Amino acid sequence: MEKNSINCEVIFDLETKENRLQEIEALIAKPGFWDIPEETKGIMQERTRLSDQVDRFRRLAHDLEESGILLDLAVEESDAKTLEEAEKLLKSLDARLRKFSLDLMLDGDDDRNNAIVSINAGAGGTEAQDWAEMLFRMYLRWVERKGYASEVIDYQPGEEAGLKSVTFTAAGNYAYGYLKSEIGVHRLVRISPFNASGKRHTSFASVFVYPELDNEIVIDIEDKDLRIDTFRASGAGGQHVNKTSSAIRITHLPTGIVVQCQQEKSQHRNKDMAMKVLRARLYQAEKEKQDEKLREIHDNKDDIAWGSQIRSYVMHPYQLVKDHRTKIESGNVNSVLDGAIDPFIEGLLLARHA
């Protein structure tokens, strides 16, 4: 069982949100509203977000009322079957309300976006590369649990086992908002399966997460600032592998950021995917610069810096996963590595809104 149970409470001001929606509708109805696309886009996004929140709240309120009526009827009639049905409905409503409350906390500019996730093995050769692949599987399982979709952009296999690095997308509502809490160094302690002496080994891998930007967001990238290299994609071999230089590596010269994509057969498709990742990384780099300036001005409660060790996964001499930021723990390491990371993600989200 996880320590530090999570209570999820959010105040939802329905009247204020409905009033704001009325103000937005009045703005849209004014002549000339569509003349300034930059301003129009922000207002329309706010309208969509508020409409979604109000609609979800109303559905929850309606279903809660219906469940309450059903429960009262079951008690009054001493109907065990109806009572069981009401309890199932209330349990489902509790899960929906929890999800709704957490989504309300994801109020960042990019929190609703898809996520681009990059995992890199740390020093340590095969051990670290195997750990990076374990993390990759963990996040893919989490994506499946969420009902999101994933697509591998770049995969660099390890020399003997595991992977050196992988970049993939997680597509779904609030994917970035949730996954950004996974940014940092992840530490694994276990008996090495690659060491005949059976010694305990510590491995590290880093996780970076960027918001996927929609095509309407413009990141100014000049051709002169890019170096584009083509190379043959690595693979398992075969008559259709490594025949053409379809893989793409793009270097952004001013920042030194390097991205690559080799998963698609088409060089054009690989370039498009690589440019998408580059735009996301440049956007995130600029945001981090702005965030750093804010941290210098304000005393931020969160003293965890990007890239620092955030979580330990201990498989020997005991079983424990511990988040060093929130102190939330789980003794079921296998379940966590199978994608059950929501308690850690939600715990950090709630801590940051406390």
In this structure, what CATH number is given to the domain that contains residue 200?
Answer: 3.30.70.1660
Q: What is the rounded distance in angstroms from the CA atom of residue 287 to the CA atom of residue 274?
A: 20
- What is residue 236's predicted lDDT score, i.e. its pLDDT? 47
The model's pLDDT over 121-168, given as tens digits with 9 standing for 90+, comes to: 998 789 999 999 999 999 999 999 999 999 999 999 998 899 999 999
Residue 94 lies in a domain: yes
Instruction: State whether 198 and 232 are in the same domain.
Output: no
> Are 198 and 318 in a shared domain?
yes
Domain that holds residue 270: 223-295
Q: Which of 85, 105, 125 is a domain's end point?
A: 105
The residue out of 105, 127, 152 marking a domain boundary is 105
Asked whether residue 251 is domain-assigned, the answer is yes
Low-confidence ranges of the chain (pLDDT < 70): 1-11, 214-218, 234-244, 290-308, 354
Q: What is the pLDDT of residues 309-345, one digit of tens each?
A: 899 999 988 999 999 999 999 999 999 999 999 999 9
Q: Are residues 247 and 200 in the same domain?
A: no
Q: According to the model, what pLDDT value does residue 217 have?
A: 53
1 within a domain of the structure (yes/no)? no
Report phi then psi at 266, rounded to 5.
Answer: -90, 130
Residue 325 inside a domain? The answer is yes
- For residue 127, what pLDDT is reported? 92
Judgement on whether residues 274 and 142 belong to the same structural domain of the protein: no
Does residue 59 belong to any structural domain of this protein? Answer: yes
Shared-domain flag, residues 18 and 101 = yes
Residues 184, 203, single domain; the answer is yes
Domain check: are 285 and 324 in the same one? no
Q: Is 307 left (phi over 0), alpha (psi -120 to 50) or beta?
A: left
What's the token pair of residue 351? Answer: 């801590």
Residue 115: strand pairing partners: 170, 211
**Total number of domains in the chain:** 3
Three-state SS at 259:
strand
Residue 175, pLDDT score:
95
The tokens describing 155, both together, are 């995969």
Q: Do 149 and 282 belong together in one domain?
A: no
Examine the domain organization and report whether 28 and 160 are in the same domain.
no
Domain-located, residue 2: no
Return d(Cα 46, Cα 243) in angstroms, integer.
49
Helix (H) / strand (E) containing 227:
strand 226-231
One domain, residues 136 and 83: no
In a domain, 205, yes or no: yes
Domain boundary among 87, 105, 123: 105
* C-alpha pair distances (Å), 285 with each of 110, 186, 248: 14, 21, 22
**pLDDT of amino acid 109:** 77
pTM of the full predicted structure?
0.70
